[in-house]
């Protein structure tokens, strides 16, 4: 049973560019959340997708957007990249039917913005 998978594992971009990160949730999971983890910090909630819609959003600008597909996989898009967007981007999944069910995290995509 595959866990949460993310691609790519590493990515280097320059300021002003756009990036798309991808996530496949754990089998049986229908809810996907994205987190940003800066070096030496805890993950920060970006947004959550359920039934192909953004359901909740953290304190991130509109440059951060996402999408969920019918197969529950998800993408995170970041436009007009800034140096401060350099971070580990984590995808997490869970089952909506189980309130407060523990999140399963992927290994993340390490984004470097030069």
Query: Among 1, 40, 53, 71, which residue sits at the site for other proteins (rule: CB under 8 A)?
Result: 40
For residue 89 the two structure tokens come to 């981007």
Instruction: Please name the residues in contact with 52: beta carbons below 8 A apart, sequence gap of 6 or more.
Output: 67, 68, 69, 70
113 binds other proteins (CB under 8 A): no
Site residues (CB under 8 A) for other proteins, limited to 76-105: 90, 92, 94, 99-105
List Cβ neighbours of 15 (8 Å cut-off, separation of 6 or more).
81, 82, 83, 113, 114
59 binds other proteins (CB under 8 A): no
Count of residues of this chain found to bind other proteins when the rule CB under 8 A is applied: 27
Does residue 18 bind other proteins (CB under 8 A)?
A: no
Contact residues for other proteins (CB under 8 A)?
Answer: 4, 31, 33, 35, 40-45, 48, 55-56, 58, 90, 92, 94, 99-108
């Amino acid at each position: 049973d595959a866990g949460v998978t993310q691609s790519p594992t590493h990515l280097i971009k320059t300021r002003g560019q756009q990036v798309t990160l991808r996530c496949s949730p754990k089998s049986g999971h229908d809810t996907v959340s994205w987190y940003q983890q800066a070096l030496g910090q805890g993950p920060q909630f970006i947004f959550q997708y359920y039934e192909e819609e953004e359901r909740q959003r953290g304190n991130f600008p509109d440059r951060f957007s996402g999408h969920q597909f019918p197969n529950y996989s998800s993408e995170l898009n970041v436009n007009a990249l800034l140096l401060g967007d350099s971070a580990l981007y984590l995808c997490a999944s869970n089952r909506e039917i189980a309130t407060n069910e523990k999140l399963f995290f992927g290994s993340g995509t390490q984004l470097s913005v030069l």
